[in-house]
Structure 1
Amino acid sequence: MTAATLLTGALAADEAGVTPATIRKWVQLGRLTPAGRQGRAQLFRLEDVFAAERAARRKPRTAG
């Protein structure tokens, strides 16, 4: 069993092709949960970030 690599929000955002603000919004909306902390920084599993990105891509945006 290998340990999952944890990334800061900025690095995770870069890997997923989104902005750090998008990562923060997904956390705020409950679509992404931090896997740990390093000081004040939230850390994320890359596979969790990719799953949130896929889920966001599937959801149609609503006008309004």
Structure 2
Amino acid sequence: MEDLLTGPQAAELCGVTPAAIRKWRQRGQLAPAGLDERGRPLFTQLAVALAEKATRQRARRVPGQRAA
């Protein structure tokens, strides 16, 4: 079974704040794979990595330019 990460663990792995992880969830970029015993979301490492990659790619775009 794959290890699941809490929000703070996912944030530390990506070098972002836990608030950024929550924002990725709100935007639909990161879906939880389950819940812990207290009902907090848990994430797979792959899902976190894909959300981080998508976020960083968007951050490199130049406003006003269209994707090729």
Compare CA radii of gyration and give the structure with the larger one. Answer: 2
More strand by share: 1
Per-residue CA deviations over 1:7-46 (Å, capped at 9, x if unaligned) read 1000111011111000000000000000000122110001
Runs of 4+ in 1 over 3 A off after TM superposition: none
Q: TM-score, normalised on structure 2?
A: 0.81
Which ranges in structure 1 are unaligned for 5 or more consecutive residues? none
Q: TM-score, normalised by structure 1?
A: 0.85
Q: Which runs of 5+ in 2 are unaligned?
A: 64-68
CA distance in 1, matches of 2:62, 2:23: 15
* Number of matched pairs: 61
Alpha-carbon RMSD across the aligned residues, in angstroms, is 1.6
